[in-house]
Structure 1
Amino acid sequence: MRTTPKPLFLALMLAASPATANAAQQTCLDNAGNQQEINQCSGMENQAADRELNNVYQAVLLQHGGDKAFIDHLKQAQRAWLKWRDAELLAIYPEREPGYYGSGFNACWNRQAASLTRERTRQLQKWLDGVEEGDVCAGSYPIKPTPPELQEGRTSP
């Protein structure tokens, strides 16, 4: 007997860390028995990607809160990115008559939106992780700290 995914359980799993969310997404898809359940899984995937984006965005705002010029431009860039993402999705799936894209449309839309959102999260993450020292094009990205064993005057054991 096949059991259907439990929405609350799956939502809780997807709200966890990104690695856990990916595993939960795969489990959800593995257990999906029909298109409605696949659509539900992809919707949760999109929501998880959006939550991760918002978490990283808020962390960047917090970490760089003292740099008003950067924060103002980052907020402007994020608003523009959101408009771009929505326009990109409509370019991929232009509005058509109902049913044009088939029963998998919602799943496809959500998976594409999640993919775009994960890419933006990776872009924002650079303001938290930093870039390598010596990157002359680092701009507002912080420089990664040098590990103690690589600092001048220190040698590895």
Structure 2
Amino acid sequence: MKTSWLLLLALAFPLSGLASDLPCYNAPSQAGLNACAASEFTKADQQLNKVWKAILVKYKDQPVFLEKLKASQKLWLQFRDAEVDAHFPIDKGEDATQYGSAYSMCVSQAQTELTQQRIQQLQAWLNGAQEGDICAGSIKNSADLK
């Protein structure tokens, strides 16, 4: 039962080609795989922070937008954590042993996937909107961002 559940878990969070291309995912131990996944999440989080800071600079002339974006980001962080918790629910007082030794790797991979999705969402404000896009809202025209 546990094996089939872990298989389903692995299918629920595909590595999107990410892990297979990384040398550290060839680690000979689960501890090495866990460390690799944690490192990948750290890299994704650092990239998210770079995108975030670039938006703050490019949109410093739009304080209302930045206030709204900060509120959105705060809620996104809560969503990310809740989404991961929904995939790996643990009651208070329990530990994660029910998910096996791959638990921390799976959590890191889920966090990485969601963080990469958020980077793509935020990237729209750095890439800019096409001239005439009437639904671009707060996204500056791409010509104005150069």
Same fold per superposition (TM over 0.5) = yes
Matched residue pairs, number? 123
CA offsets 1:66-118 (integer angstroms, 9 cap, x no match): 11101111111111110111111111111154311111110000000000001
Shift of 1:144: 1.9
The residue correspondences of 1:71-150 to structure 2 (distance < 5 A) are 71-96=66-91, 97-98=94-95, 99-145=97-143
**Runs of 4+ with deviation above 6 angstroms:** none
Unaligned runs of 5+ in 1: 1-21, 147-157
Q: TM-score, normalized by length of structure 1?
A: 0.73
Between 1 and 2, higher relative CO (CA 8 Å, sep ≥ 6) is seen in 2
Q: Distance in 2 between matches of 1:134 and 1:65?
A: 23
Q: Distance in 1 between matches of 2:124 and 2:75?
A: 18
Q: Distance in 2 between matches of 1:29 and 1:89?
A: 21
Unaligned runs of 5+ in 2: 1-17
Q: Distance in 1 between matches of 2:65 and 2:39?
A: 32
Percent of aligned pairs with the same residue? 38
Looking at secondary structure, tell me which structure has more helix per residue. 2
Larger Rg: 1
RMSD: 1.8
